[in-house]
Structure 1
Amino acid sequence: MLPKDAVQDGAADDAAGIAAPGGAEAGGGNTADTASTDAAYARLYGEPLLRLPNDLYIPPDALEVFLEAFEGPLDLLLYLIRKQNFNILDIPMAQVTLQYLKYVEQIRLSNLELAAEYLLMAAMLIEIKSRMLLPQRQHDIELEAEDPRAELVRRLLEYEQIKLAAYDLNSIPQLDRDFQRAEIFIEQSLIPVWPEVNADDLQAAWKDLLKRAKLKQHHKITREELSVREHMTGILRRLQSSRFVEFADLFDVAGGVPVLVVNFVALLELAKETLIEITQAEPFAPIYVRLAYSPA
């Protein structure tokens, strides 16, 4: 493998040679420059690339291949132990620590923030290894001192159990990953919901009443004082005797247009004060009027 500087110098020489193929000079004319630019594969440092290079230099940091991905120091340590079939209850600390430090040194050169977490585990391994090299005191021998690797072994076994459980959970089919949930919308309601009366329907019903009133009107010149409040009372009295009353039945067509107008105004006032309800079972169906339900 060539040194990095040598490869870069070679690439620069190739780029310089490619810029003017066939020994042509740069100042050959505008027509030649335009033709050369159109035939170029690409542009390198602003110059047209007229032929493919024989070799291609790739910087060392341009490509990274991760053969194994580890989720943390314990994952790496467990990988080193299982790969070499070490007994996890009797870990050879010298070999494992040496291999672990080599890996940490590699990631420290590329990612210092990631290496900090691994360095903490490396310090723990070196401490365990140092404690195992120290001679035991007579008092510790008589009391059967705890193995310095016991805490590390406990953490590794717990991590392995959690990792295996995670694999089992991941194998279970998951919603929106392995399958989709079938959905169907069913409208269920115990209380009937009546559609709201459209203003156009109410206006059409009123126009029909006016048309019928004009057909049956009498030519009598009289003066009559009509009270909206009295008509409101009459409408309420009429609704008390039946649950639903059709809109047209609340009006006396024989009374003429003035009576119909006052009666209709009284009906609107009752609806405004929420004393009555104007309902309709479906579009273009007859309009009914009933007393408003008072809360219990």
Structure 2
Amino acid sequence: MPEVVDQVALARLYGEPLFALPQDLYIPPDALEVFLEAFEGPLDLLLYLIRKQNFNILDIPMLSVTKQYLVYVEQIRKRNLELAAEYLLMAAMLIEIKSRMLLPPKKVAEGEEAEDPRAELVRRLLEYEQMKLAAARLNAVPQYGRDYLKASIFIEQSLQPRFPEVHLVDLQEAWRDILKRAKLVQHHKISRAELSVREHMSIVLKKLQGRRFVGFEDLFDPEAGHPVLVVTFIAMLELAKETLIEITQAEAFAPIYVRLAYSPS
């Protein structure tokens, strides 16, 4: 520890106070950089200087404001010459206003006030301040994506499957297959019977009741004989015509199924 202990330490190295910089310490020129407050332009900087020191914007002390403004511009010019060009233009305007204020005022007619060289600058500052306050109020309004997000819910709806339509050729082939099966169990007993299409329509609907799918062949009874098979087939066609049943198949050349027509509730 040094003999003088009431000094302010420059830093701490491994927990020990450092009162003087080492002789062999090398600090690169660009290691430390002072960042000024970010301004959106010359008017923003000028308004900041006026409000910071509570100056009356209608009676701006041009000498004090111009000096402070030039100090900021000099710092900006060292870091970015292109950025400083816009600020230098405002600096020239401030110097011009200050020069005009040193000159004797122009003579005006009686009853009129002499024009203030600061009037145009004051007008621009007031307009800029109004726009800046309005922008701040708009920015305070909650924005979608910044302050909140919309909740989204994905609902997976069960869609009614749509099967390919059964072509007439497929239906004819299925009907021929049933006739072939009926010939294998045909009887030679001749009898007279009255067959009702409406009655067989009811029989088909009863067989489909409470079942999702029924095979096309399962709706026919080969032992009942050709007349019953024909009437049953006609009854099935009538039901399909009246959209009371649906005749479907999963894919081409696949087995044919029959079910009750779907009616949305």
Taking structure 1 as the reference length, the TM-score comes to: 0.48
Alpha-carbon separation, structure 2, partners of 1:66 and 1:279: 80
Q: 143, 147, 153: which one pairs with 2:112?
A: 143
Change (3 A) 1:149 1:279: farther
Change (3 A) 1:217 1:117: farther
**What is the aligned residue count?**
180
Change (3 A) 1:126 1:141: farther
Structure with greater helix percent: 1
Alpha-carbon separation, structure 1, partners of 2:147 and 2:70: 40
Instruction: Output one character per residue of 1:116-172: Cα deviation in whole Å (capped at 9) or x when no partner.
Output: 111121122122112211111323675323212112112111222222222222222
Alpha-carbon separation, structure 2, partners of 1:101 and 1:54: 36
Change (3 A) 1:63 1:145: same
CA RMSD of aligned residues (A): 4.5
Instruction: Find the counterpart in structure 2 of residue 69 from structure 1.
Output: 38
Instruction: Find the counterpart in structure 2 of residue 99 from structure 1.
Output: 68
1:258-273 alignment to 2 at 5 Å? none
- Structure 1 unaligned segments of length 5 or more: list them: 1-52, 219-247, 255-277, 290-296
Structure 1 residue 285: deviation in Å?
Answer: 7.5
1:1-296 alignment to 2 at 5 Å? 57-139=26-108, 143-184=112-153, 196-198=162-164, 211-216=177-182, 286=258
Letter aligned with residue 176 of structure 1: G
Instruction: Output one character per residue of 1:9-60: Cα deviation in whole Å (capped at 9) or x when no partner.
Output: xxxxxxxxxxxxxxxxxxxxxxxxxxxxxxxxxxxxxxxxxxxx99664432
Change (3 A) 1:130 1:213: farther
Alpha-carbon separation, structure 2, partners of 1:285 and 1:150: 92
SS in 1 for 2:108: helix
Q: For the Cα contact (< 8 Å) 1:107–1:114, is it kept in 2? A: yes
Letter aligned with residue 60 of structure 2: I
Instruction: Find the counterpart in structure 1 of residue 3 from structure 2.
Output: none
Q: For the Cα contact (< 8 Å) 2:66–2:95, is it kept in 1? A: yes
- Structure 2 unaligned segments of length 5 or more: list them: 1-21, 185-215, 217-221, 227-245
Q: Which has the higher contact order (CA 8 A, sep 6+)?
A: 2
Change (3 A) 1:195 1:100: same
Taking structure 2 as the reference length, the TM-score comes to: 0.53
Alpha-carbon separation, structure 2, partners of 1:202 and 1:62: 84
Alpha-carbon separation, structure 2, partners of 1:169 and 1:66: 28
